[in-house]
């Protein structure tokens, strides 16, 4: 997040970003100060999150655009509020800038959400897979590149700017990729929760890839999965087999994201 012209926050769930940033600054010769601020993130996600936010901050919060942020003081509690989240739903992230106010903020949010049946919880695997959102260590890892994930639209290799990994990405773009992430429908009874291991993808008995995240979607009434597969088998409509811990099931490669592909839900003003 960019709070000012030269003021950035890096917030993520995996890796030691502080150590990485310090190493980058030293080796690049940048004139930059790197600290870990007193900031605690909290996510408020779901179809009713906009209504709860209006109770907390008033109707003006509706004007906060998708992926924008706003600095707010709520009853003397300093916050940064952003229209972001890991849910594929309408959602907000609230960053507390004073750790001594944590209980006060929590109680205020729970009270504001009381009439909307707000409950503490964890990320919904169903919603994030429906939306095609990636989980690090599952759908992507240190051996995965953006071209395999269909994220090359976020890379600009034509500029004169140098950045870490640029030479490697230029090489990958020139040589092409051998794998590609796809969406898959698995034809079996509803899965009882997400997969806990990678499931092999087979074509005529030969392994051609792996299921990385799979779940049953009650909304779509089918089992859906994200998978990494050899590029030559990645076309929509390709029939494959999935080997789970119990048995082998038929499957088909389909379009992803599986639900709300244009992100109308998460990006619409509420």
What pLDDT, on the 0 to 100 scale, is given for residue 270? 52
Fold of 134-254: Elongation Factor Tu (Ef-tu); domain 3 (2.40.30)
Confidence of residue 66 (pLDDT cuts 50, 70, 90): very high
Share of residues in the chain with pLDDT > 90 (%): 82
Distance CA 87, CA 44 (A): 10
The answer, as to whether pTM is greater than 0.75, is: yes
3.30.70.3270, 3.50.30.30, 3.20.20.70, 3.30.1360.120: which CATH number matches 2-127? 3.30.1360.120
Delimit the domains of the chain by residue range: 2-127, 134-254
Per residue in 117-171, pLDDT (tens digit) is: 999 988 889 999 999 999 988 999 989 999 999 999 999 999 998 888 999 999 9
CA atoms within 13 A on the CB side of 253: 23
**Angle of helix 102-112 versus helix 49-57 axis, rounded to 10:** 120
Q: Tell me how far apart the alpha carbons of residues 137 and 142 are, in angstroms, rounded to a whole number.
A: 8
Which pLDDT value is given to residue 1? 93
**3 state SS for 230-269:** EHHHCCCCCEEEEECCCCEEEEEEECCCCCCCCCHHHHCC
Among 76, 83, 69, residue whose Cα is nearest residue 108: 76
Element of type H or E holding 26: helix 17-28
12 — pLDDT class (breaks 50, 70, 90): confident
pLDDT value at residue 237 = 98
What does the longest C-alpha to C-alpha distance in the chain come to? 64
In the chain, what percentage of residues exceed pLDDT 70? 99
Per residue in 81-103, pLDDT (tens digit) is: 999 988 899 999 999 999 999 99
Within 10 angstroms of residue 206's Cβ, the number of other Cβ atoms is 9
pLDDT band at 269 (very low <50, low <70, confident <90, very high): low
């Amino acid at each position: 997040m960019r709070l000012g012209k030269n003021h950035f926050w890096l917030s993520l769930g995996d890796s030691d970003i502080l150590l990485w940033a310090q190493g980058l600054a030293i080796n690049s010769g940048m004139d930059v100060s790197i600290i870990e601020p007193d900031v605690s993130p909290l996510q408020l996600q779901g179809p009713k999150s906009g209504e709860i936010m209006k109770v907390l901050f008033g109707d003006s919060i509706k004007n906060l655009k998708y992926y924008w942020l706003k600095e707010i003081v709520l009853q003397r509690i300093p916050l940064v509020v952003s229209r972001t989240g890991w849910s594929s739903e309408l959602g907000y992230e609230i960053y507390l800038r004073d750790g001594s106010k944590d209980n006060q903020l929590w109680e205020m949010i729970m009270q504001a959400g009381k009439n909307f049946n707000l409950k503490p919880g964890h990320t919904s695997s169903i919603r994030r897979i429906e939306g095609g959102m990636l989980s690090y260590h599952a759908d992507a890892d240190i051996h995965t590149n953006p071209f395999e994930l269909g994220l090359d639209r976020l890379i600009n290799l034509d500029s004169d700017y140098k950045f870490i990994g640029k030479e490697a990405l230029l090489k990958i773009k020139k040589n092409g990729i051998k794998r590609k992430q796809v969406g898959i429908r698995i034809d079996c009874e509803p899965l009882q929760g997400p997969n806990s291991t990678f499931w092999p993808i087979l074509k005529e008995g030969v392994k051609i890839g792996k299921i990385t995240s799979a779940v049953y979607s009650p909304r779509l009434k089918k089992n859906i999965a994200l998978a990494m597969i050899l590029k030559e088998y990645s076309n929509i409509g390709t029939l494959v087999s999935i080997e789970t811990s119990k048995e082998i099931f038929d499957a088909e490669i389909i379009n992803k994201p599986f639900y709300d592909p244009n992100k109308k839900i998460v990006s619409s003003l509420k």
